[in-house]
Structure 1
Amino acid sequence: MSAGRHGRHEPVYRALELIANGLVRAQRLDLHVTGLENIPDTGGAVLCVNHTGYVDFLPLALGVQRAGRRTRFLIKSEVMDIGIMRFLVNHTRTVPVDRSRGAEAYRAALGRLREGYIVAVYPEATISRSFELKEFKSGAVRMAAEAGVPIIPAIVWGAHRQWTKGGARNMGRSRLPVHVRYGLPFTPGPDESPERETLRLRETMNSMLLEVQDSYGPHPPGEFWVPSRLGGAAPTPQEAAVIEADEALRKAEARAKRAADRARSRGSRR
């Protein structure tokens, strides 16, 4: 594939684009995309986006498609256990991430960037239950600096109304408005620390988030998808942190139990 504007010689990706656009039409989403001029015509870039729900990747990628480019995502490696997902990952230059082998995924993402692809990264790593920006990991800044490519900050707002943690799923003909904004690219300074540049990225994206929310329309008080700051029922960032810590503990306990069960199973077969 060309590192610049995409053609039609990626048949699997092209099929996914047709399906995704058909899904948006079927749902009758009111998709607003701004800032397409900030997506470079050619070359690699790290596309950093906030994470509020399970399907926010879809409007993000469709916006990039409108600019004539394609997005390569970093996704959890667990999907490789599913045959169809393994096929899709292998045929769309997606980067599976195994958190126990993070260096491997980092090198793979660097490879995609150097080949001229746009790689999408969630700096928050996990969905924000408060729908405010969480603290950012520095990996996105580090890979952009090492690959010598720009970072494009992006905000998606409204997709969490379709499907998110703690909310009712609404994937039908919802007619929901979803806004996507791509901000001005910047290249991490070689003399700046990754932590400082990560803070710069977060501040930029937080300003963008506030602007997108202002242009979005009414945020009805008490709604699950509206941040507490705007009068909604979403937990505050502090409350969300407690929920997420408890969730992480339960997941760790479940992983430990599965590992112990596998060890017992292997022992019983000897």
Structure 2
Amino acid sequence: MTEYVYPPVIAAAKVMFRALDLRCTVEGAQNIPRTGGAVLVSNHISYLDFIFAGLAARPAERMVRFMAKKEVFDHRISGPLMRGMKHIPVDRQAGAAAYRDALNALKDGEVLGVFAEATISRSFTVKDIKAGAVRMAASAKVPMIPVALWGTQRLWTKGRPRNLRQRHVPVTILVGEPMYPTRVRDFTPVVDELHSRMSELVERAQREYPETPRPGEEWWQPAYLGGTAPTPEEAAEMDAKEAAERSAP
């Protein structure tokens, strides 16, 4: 399959990394298979996470097809790029089509990227995750690989102005060991195990991060490490309020 859009986008991302002197550390990339389908399940703390989660697959020379909300594909600029990179649109009112497209991609040997929390975590901890990624991996009989990102929230996250001129920001990308879910009636135990593994990776990335916030920048540190990010409970209330406002007539 000829790729006309993805390689130039990767090249542009590398130019951006160099311009900002981002210090990206990838650990565990050997866990991503060089051939065959796989589901990468990443935490979600930034609008740029798809770039960095995709970076985890570059040592294996894989291109990740991400599932993203339909609105991104409707945008006049991002839409053509997303379609050109063969990402998969998700219409939350009609999710069956996206699930079918994702399953077909996995069976065709693609690497699928999923943010199982569905939305950005304001608390920078792992929110409740959906079972879709587990179901897809089990149905396609492919490995499911947890990924933890940390540092990307400093560039652009929910509720904060984007700061794409900030230089020298460390970005940590940890790739966990594969899981091999099988088709069962109840996926809850596997979802719980995935959540546990993702949380362990994220917390490790946070504790081992090479920088601490400067005075006035404590917003990007989770509350449990002394930062001023919302607690998971506060973040859940903020999400609920936002959802109610969005659905109001």
What corresponds to 1:236 in structure 2?
231
Residue 218 of structure 1: how far off its partner (Å): 3.9
What corresponds to 1:132 in structure 2?
125
Q: Return the letter of the residue paired with 1:152.
A: I
In structure 2, the gaps of 5 or more residues are: none
- Pair 1:82-2:75 in alignment: yes
Q: Secondary structure at the match of 1:165?
A: coil
Residue 40 of structure 1: how far off its partner (Å): 0.4
Distance 1:141 1:60 in 2: 18
Contact 1:28 1:173 (C-alpha < 8 Å) held by counterparts = no
Q: Return the letter of the residue paired with 1:184.
A: E
Residue 236 of structure 1: how far off its partner (Å): 0.4
Q: Secondary structure at the match of 1:69?
A: coil
What corresponds to 2:241 in structure 1?
246
Distance 2:201 2:72 in 1: 31
Distance 1:109 1:207 in 2: 27
Q: Return the letter of the residue paired with 1:78.
A: E
Residue correspondences, number: 247
What corresponds to 2:87 in structure 1?
94
What corresponds to 1:176 in structure 2?
169
RMSD, matched Cα: 1.5
Contact 2:135 2:183 (C-alpha < 8 Å) held by counterparts = no
Greater helix content:
1
Distance 1:198 1:171 in 2: 34
Instruction: Provide the TM-score with structure 2 as the length reference.
Output: 0.94
Contact 1:27 1:172 (C-alpha < 8 Å) held by counterparts = yes
Contact 2:155 2:166 (C-alpha < 8 Å) held by counterparts = no
What corresponds to 1:36 in structure 2?
29
What corresponds to 2:180 in structure 1?
187
Pick aligned residue for 2:220 from 212, 225, 229:
225
Distance 2:130 2:10 in 1: 29
Distance 2:195 2:154 in 1: 23
What corresponds to 1:207 in structure 2?
200
What corresponds to 2:56 in structure 1?
63
Instruction: Provide the TM-score with structure 1 as the length reference.
Output: 0.87
Q: Secondary structure at the match of 1:93?
A: coil
Distance 1:79 1:55 in 2: 13
State the Cα deviation string for residues 132-186 of structure 1 (Å, max 9, x = none). Answer: 1100110000111111111010000000011111224211142100000111011
What corresponds to 1:153 in structure 2?
146
In structure 1, the gaps of 5 or more residues are: 2-8, 257-270
Distance 2:198 2:185 in 1: 19
Residue 214 of structure 1: how far off its partner (Å): 2.1
Contact 1:73 1:120 (C-alpha < 8 Å) held by counterparts = yes
Using the aligned pairs only, state the percent identity.
Answer: 43
Q: Secondary structure at the match of 1:53?
A: coil
Q: Secondary structure at the match of 1:73?
A: strand
- Quick check: which has more Rg, 1 or 2? 1
Distance 1:86 1:191 in 2: 36
Distance 1:165 1:86 in 2: 21
Contact 1:227 1:235 (C-alpha < 8 Å) held by counterparts = yes
Question: Structure 1 pair 87/166, CA: closer, same or farther in 2 (3 Å)?
Answer: closer
